[in-house]
Amino acid sequence: MVNGPPSYAATSASTPIAQRPQLNGHRSSSTDAVARTKILLLGLRRAGKTSIQQVLFNNLPPKQTFYLETTMRIVKHTFQFPRTSTVIPLEIWDCPGNTTVETLGAPLSQFATMIFVIDIRDLYNQPISRLVEFIVAAYQANPNMSLEVFVHKAEKLQEDDKIENFRQIHERVSDRLLDISPDYEQVQLNFHLTSVYDHSLHEAFSKVLHKLVDSLPYLEDLLNVFCANSQSPKAFLFDTTSRLYIATDASPVDSATFNLCCDYLQMLNSFGTLYKSETANTRRPMPTTPPLLTSSTSSLSATRTATSDPSSPKTTNSTSQRSSSDLFYPSASTSLHPSTPGTTLTYHLITSQLALLALLPTSVYEGRRGLIEFNVVFFREGVQEICQVETEARAGG
């Protein structure tokens, strides 16, 4: 049920990127001619560093992390995030457990983010000392570096112990820093409870990435306008493969909604291969990875449908023009609460790797479907323009 006077309108795509977003100064060139953002992944042995990287970016099932071998030397993983439409090309340095500031072998100033992984049961001196050592060195090298602490394997503890250990680790690190110098009071440290066995890791890593997305304010603006004009209480722009969200609208993120979106994406990724587009031979579908629901005639159930959206936004860029006329965009929806007033979770592919997931009142989704699709088209146009500008900026164009 929609309360108050309905405020339906078309999403405007005119404003977001009148100017090119300025790239932050923390980029570094790499051999593939794209400026990659470097993330340092640290922690003691068996803390879970490689598992985090593998689960997020290589789709390794969490249980398989048990068989990962010990990291003996620094491994640099490069990722496109999302994989094809450049928003953040990443280089993640997975370090062995015995890495210290001295043995890292690279200046800390070149990293945009440092993630220190600490086992939630490790309340001992050694991990805290190593973490503090890196924080001090990183802060001195680059005070603007994002300093993130993943208090990991959180699912191992009961709720009360989890909160208590989390609090103790936080407190010990802060105390230790203050003992070194009162100046470190101003160090901005971000602590996250994470586990590969639930979506907490995806949520935490998404938050880490947001600090690295130069175009975040523009993407958020687009999402805000989409939500306002479509009566959506929450919308996310997700990377479909990693299931990390790169932006969301201004309303607060609640974990339950985020988990639902993650699960839905996971389901679409798993079952998408069962659906084939009848028009795939004549009109190339978006090069989705993995394939998604691309048939306008397919449906998963009465409340879970898949449609293709052949409409393509007009763009001024020749590359975008070519891709938007060649490609079409799958969409899907599922009813979350069948009883009235219901909520529908919708999925629309926006670029080959980015998808819009939005909660909508079922009455709006069913009664104003055309307008929602229309708003999605303009949202897509805005996001594609942003990606284009980011790509050019990264390539130094």
Ligand X SMILES: Nc1nc2c(ncn2[C@@H]2O[C@H](COP(=O)(O)OP(=O)(O)OP(=O)(O)O)[C@@H](O)[C@H]2O)c(=O)[nH]1
Which residues in this chain contact ligand X in the complex, by CB under 6 A? 43, 45-51, 65-66, 68, 70-71, 96-97, 152-153, 155-156, 195-197
Q: What kind and span of H or E run contains 291? A: none
CB of 64 to ligand X, least distance (A): 8
CB of 4 to ligand X, least distance (A): 43
| Separation of alpha carbons 77 and 57, rounded Å | 10
CB of 134 to ligand X, least distance (A): 15
Catalogue the E-assigned strands of the chain.
27-28, 36-43, 75-81, 88-94, 113-119, 146-152, 189-193, 234-239, 244-248, 299-301, 304-309, 329-335, 343-349, 354-361
| Separation of alpha carbons 166 and 204, rounded Å | 15
CB of 41 to ligand X, least distance (A): 8
- Please, which residue, 152 or 380, has the CB nearer to ligand X? 152
Residues 378 and 313: beta-carbon distance below 8 Å: yes
The shares of helix, strand and coil residues in the chain, as percent rounded to the nearest 5, are: 40, 20, 40
Residues 114 and 101: beta-carbon distance below 8 Å: no
| Separation of alpha carbons 117 and 148, rounded Å | 9
CB of 160 to ligand X, least distance (A): 18
* Torsional class of 46: left (φ above 0), alpha (ψ -120 to 50), beta (otherwise): left
CB of 96 to ligand X, least distance (A): 5
CB of 51 to ligand X, least distance (A): 3
- Cβ neighbours of residue 275 closer than 8 Å, sequence gap 6 or more: 291, 292, 293, 294, 295, 298, 306
CB of 297 to ligand X, least distance (A): 41
- Please, which residue, 51 or 312, has the CB nearer to ligand X? 51
Closest CA to 246 of 209, 221, 203: 209
- Please, which residue, 75 or 136, has the CB nearer to ligand X? 75
Q: Which residues of 245-280 are buried (b: 16+ CB within 10 A; e: fewer)?
A: bbbbbeeebeeebbebbbebbeebbeebeebebeee
CB of 346 to ligand X, least distance (A): 31
- Please, which residue, 38 or 49, has the CB nearer to ligand X? 49
What one-letter code names the amino acid at 170? H
Burial class (CB in 10 A: 0-12, 13-18, 19+), 29: exposed
Residues 112 and 24: beta-carbon distance below 8 Å: yes
- Please, which residue, 44 or 212, has the CB nearer to ligand X? 44
Residues 189 and 228: beta-carbon distance below 8 Å: no
- Please, which residue, 21 or 62, has the CB nearer to ligand X? 62
- Please, which residue, 26 or 49, has the CB nearer to ligand X? 49
- Please, which residue, 46 or 170, has the CB nearer to ligand X? 46
**3-state class (DSSP) for residue 155:** helix
CB of 307 to ligand X, least distance (A): 37
| Separation of alpha carbons 78 and 37, rounded Å | 9
- Please, which residue, 153 or 380, has the CB nearer to ligand X? 153
Residues 236 and 355: beta-carbon distance below 8 Å: no
- Please, which residue, 61 or 252, has the CB nearer to ligand X? 61
